[in-house]
Copies of this chain bind each other. A is one copy, B any other.
Amino acid sequence: MKFSNRVGSMQASPVRKLVPFATAAKKDGVKVYHLNIGQPDIKTPEGFMKAVRDFDESVLEYADSVGSDELVNAMIEYYKGYDINYESGEILITNGGSEALLFAMMTLCNPGENILVPEPFYTNYNGFATSVDVQIRPITTKAEEGFHLPSKEKVLASLDENTRAILISNPGNPTGAIYTIEEMQMLAEVAIEKDLWIISDEVYREFVYDGLKYTSFGNLENVADRVIIVDSVSKRYSACGARIGSLASKNKEFIAQVLKLCQGRLCVPTLEMIGAAELYKTPKSYLEEVNKEYCKRRDTLYEEIMKIPGVVCEKPTGAFYMVVKLPVENAEDFVIFMLKEFRHNGATTMATPAENFYATPGLGRDEVRLAYILNCDDLKASAECLRLGLEAYKAAGNK
């Protein structure tokens, strides 16, 4: 009984494959600080459940394949707040940002073609691509440079004749980097010169700190016909379980192509769209409060992490992740050590090994991604665990 190469060669989720070790620790009564996942503890705005509870149709019917008018219209208004002008017919609602990314890849690339992505990148980019026979070509960025992009020449040198698109996450997961307007204009130039699409994953749009100015690819007029914006309510409104994402583009032909995929799977859930429409009407003050909270968490975790001898970490300016270079040879081995062997005050810390966030073999072996999604006291305790755990790891003879 054979399986396809595309799914056969997909790696199991690096974020989820260590879960059994955490489960075993918890069964032993150990408290596990989860810095490994992007599940926020922020309250979902109450409008979501209120609207869902008010649903009183006697039949839970199919929705429109493009998404509900209410949700699309709420998103149009939301985008206007960022000077991004989309109209009805330019937005498709998807099953999370995940389906948006998968549909974009399927629509733009034949098997064997590729997409340029700055590494380290959200590891599921590689999963989606592999599952539909698309390759990820990395543009390597470095912790020491705050994960900013290399020169235009290096970006041009990274692509080949089979490159169809540039995919970025901005603010970046796992890097926490925010691209400058100059970096984005450089990518826009490359896209125009090489006739590439730009897929801009902006699900962390509001998670920008230190008063930095954030520019969306939806603001760049010169590439409007080749830009595809991926969005999601998951992180923005702490509604990961709603699985409501979207694709937006001024390129009507692109929308028409993706619509065929949307029609094939009929629609996204009716109730989730009812709730999500309310989310997109949430006052900006909610997002500002959340932003403040994450900024505080970032400062707390960063300060504690920098107390650990031998780490390399540039303070991130966006999203809610940081990539930390540890003074170890194999970060995954260290993460497993933490879960299996190390306890401090009955607790341990779970991080995500970063190697799978890279496409270039060998890179990231000594790095982990930390998500600062816990309250500040827990973040302090979790960083202390990491510091003491590293000492114990070394003391046990590990390199």
Is there contact, CB below 8 Å, between A3 and B131?
no
CB neighbours of A392 from chain B (8 A) = none
Is there contact, CB below 8 Å, between B109 and A1?
no
A285 contacts B by Cβ under 8 Å: no
A186 contacts B by Cβ under 8 Å: no
- A197's closest neighbor in chain B, by CB? B1
A133 to chain B, nearest CB (A): 6
Mask: chain A, 90-106; 1 = CB below 8 Å from B; 0 = not: 00000110110010001
CB neighbours of A65 from chain B (8 A) = 13, 16
A326 contacts B by Cβ under 8 Å: no
- A127's closest neighbor in chain B, by CB? B264
Is there contact, CB below 8 Å, between A107 and B44?
no
Is there contact, CB below 8 Å, between A270 and B257?
no
CB neighbours of A44 from chain B (8 A) = 58-60
A265 in complex: contacting residue of B52, B98, B271, CB < 8 Å: B98
Count of chain A residues with a beta carbon within 8 Å of a chain B beta carbon = 79
CB neighbours of A216 from chain B (8 A) = none
Of the listed stretches A4-12, A202-210, A329-337, name the one at the interface; the rest are far from the partner chain. A4-12
- A245's closest neighbor in chain B, by CB? B265
Of the listed stretches A170-178, A233-241, A289-297, A303-311, name the one at the interface; the rest are far from the partner chain. A233-241
A55 in complex: contacting residue of B43, B49, B109, B113, CB < 8 Å: B49
CB neighbours of A63 from chain B (8 A) = 241
In the complex, A108 Cα to B8 Cα: how many Å?
A: 9
Is there contact, CB below 8 Å, between B61 and A260?
no
A13-B264, A16-B263, A61-B39 known; A271-B52 Cβ under 8 A: yes
A267 contacts B by Cβ under 8 Å: yes
A48-B60, A59-B40, A60-B44 known; A106-B265 Cβ under 8 A: no
A181 contacts B by Cβ under 8 Å: no
- A259's closest neighbor in chain B, by CB? B12
A268 contacts B by Cβ under 8 Å: yes
A164 contacts B by Cβ under 8 Å: yes
For window 201-246 of chain A, which residues contact chain B by CB distance below 8 Å?
225-226, 238-243
Residue from A6, A265, A270, A272 having most chain B Cβ neighbours under 10 A = A265
A41 contacts B by Cβ under 8 Å: yes
A67 contacts B by Cβ under 8 Å: no
- A239's closest neighbor in chain B, by CB? B60
- A164's closest neighbor in chain B, by CB? B2
A394 contacts B by Cβ under 8 Å: no
Residue from A5, A258, A271 having most chain B Cβ neighbours under 10 A = A271
- A13's closest neighbor in chain B, by CB? B263
A299 contacts B by Cβ under 8 Å: no
CB neighbours of A340 from chain B (8 A) = none
In the complex, A10 Cα to B11 Cα: how many Å?
A: 29
CB neighbours of A150 from chain B (8 A) = none
Is there contact, CB below 8 Å, between A61 and B240?
yes
A85 contacts B by Cβ under 8 Å: no
For window 1-47 of chain A, which residues contact chain B by CB distance below 8 Å?
1-8, 10-13, 16, 37, 39-44
In the complex, A41 Cα to B59 Cα: how many Å?
A: 7
In the complex, A50 Cα to B61 Cα: how many Å?
A: 17
Is there contact, CB below 8 Å, between B269 and A243?
yes
In the complex, A113 Cα to B271 Cα: how many Å?
A: 37
Pairs across A and B, CB under 8 Å, 20 listed: A1-B254, A2-B164, A3-B107, A3-B253, A8-B257, A12-B259, A12-B263, A13-B260, A13-B263, A39-B62, A43-B58, A52-B52, A53-B53, A96-B265, A96-B266, A99-B265, A106-B131, A127-B260, A127-B263, A243-B269
In the A-B complex, the 6 residue pairs with the smallest Cβ-Cβ separation, listed nearest first, are A241-B270, A13-B263, A98-B265, A127-B264, A60-B241, A62-B240
